[in-house]
Homo-oligomer: A and B are copies of this chain.
Amino acid sequence: MTETKQDRGALAETRRTLPIALLRARESVMERFRPMLSAHDITEQQWRVLRVLQEAGEADATQLARGACILGPSLTRILKALEARGLVEVRRDPGDGRRSIIRLTGEGTGFIAAITPESQAIYAGIEAKLGARRLDDLLDGLDDLLRLLGDP
């Protein structure tokens, strides 16, 4: 007797469970990006920081950490690495001495530009498999989730 619906008192099958479904989905996507990232000698996390920075123009560490889903201490190390590599510039906020302001250097902007075509090609491959409509709907769903769970 197979149950198509969830048993009362039992957890849903893992495939139909947000934490695991989101993780597996992300894994299947990242598999396609990892070769590119490691070819450019950059970690997933560093790439996220660069992307968020590019989008934000400039940001303090707290905003960056939130945007890139990285904890403070990790961010400290990542910024050190990116700064040492010249991709990023960290300076102190003149108005608030506690705060750091981070922005891309010209080199950092160039680095992103150099990777962009490859990244777009990989993304296009994913879109081709999924279809533009389904991809868009999925992104809408993820965005809704984020919004609705955001404030509580």
Contact = CB atoms under 8 A, between A and B. Distances in A.
Contacts of A129: 148-149
Interface string A18-42: 1111111111111111000000000
A50 to B, nearest CB: 10
Contacts of A28: 145-146, 149-150
B19 A29 contact: yes
* Complex copy number for this chain: 2
Interface of A: 9-33, 44, 48, 51-52, 54-55, 67-69, 112, 116, 119-120, 123, 126, 129-130, 134-135, 137-139, 141-146, 148-150
Contact of A141 (B17, B44, B134): B134
A85 to B, nearest CB: 20
A112 B9 CA distance: 11
A142 B25 contact: yes
Contacts of A19: 26, 29-30, 33, 44, 48
Given A12-B123, A20-B69, A23-B26, 20 more contacts: A10-B116, A11-B116, A14-B48, A14-B52, A14-B67, A18-B138, A19-B44, A21-B146, A22-B22, A22-B26, A22-B142, A25-B145, A27-B69, A28-B145, A28-B146, A130-B145, A130-B149, A134-B144, A138-B138, A138-B142
